Amino acid sequence: QATGTDQVVGLGLVAVSLIIFTYYTAWVILLPFIDSQHVIHKYFLPRAYAVAIPLAAGLLLLLFVGLFITYVMLKSERVTKKAQ
């Protein structure tokens, strides 16, 4: 049986991904078929953001991965330099 925090974190991840998926599906797939005068369009940004936001998020992710790799490499370099 998984421990408490593991369950909370795991289910939290599932919930977050479901929320993102349903909102994004409604935004990209469903909204074009709904009449443009309907009130639901108020809850969604202009359609261009549907590509811009994931693109920006992906670039940010790449940036953080690169920074993390740089940090780990510098740290290991300092450790080997201290050991010499």
Partner 1 sequence: LSLGGLRLSLVRFSFLLLRGALFSFLAVTMTKLAQWLWGLAILGSTWAALTTGALGLELPLSCQEVLWPLPAYLLVSAGCYAMATVGYRVATFHDCEDAARELQSQIQEARADLARRGLRF
Residues that bind partner 1 (CB under 8 A): 1-3, 6-7, 9-14, 16-18, 20-21, 24-25, 28-29, 32-33, 47, 50-51, 54-55, 58, 83
Helix ranges (H only) for 1-84 are: 4-25, 49-83
Residue closer to partner 1 (CB basis): 28 or 74: 28
The two three-digit tokens of residue 42, written as one number: 């108020």
Cα–Cα distance between 44 and 27 in angstroms, integer?
7
Residue closer to partner 1 (CB basis): 36 or 39: 36
Residue closer to partner 1 (CB basis): 8 or 70: 8
* 23: Cα within 13 Å, side-chain hemisphere: 12
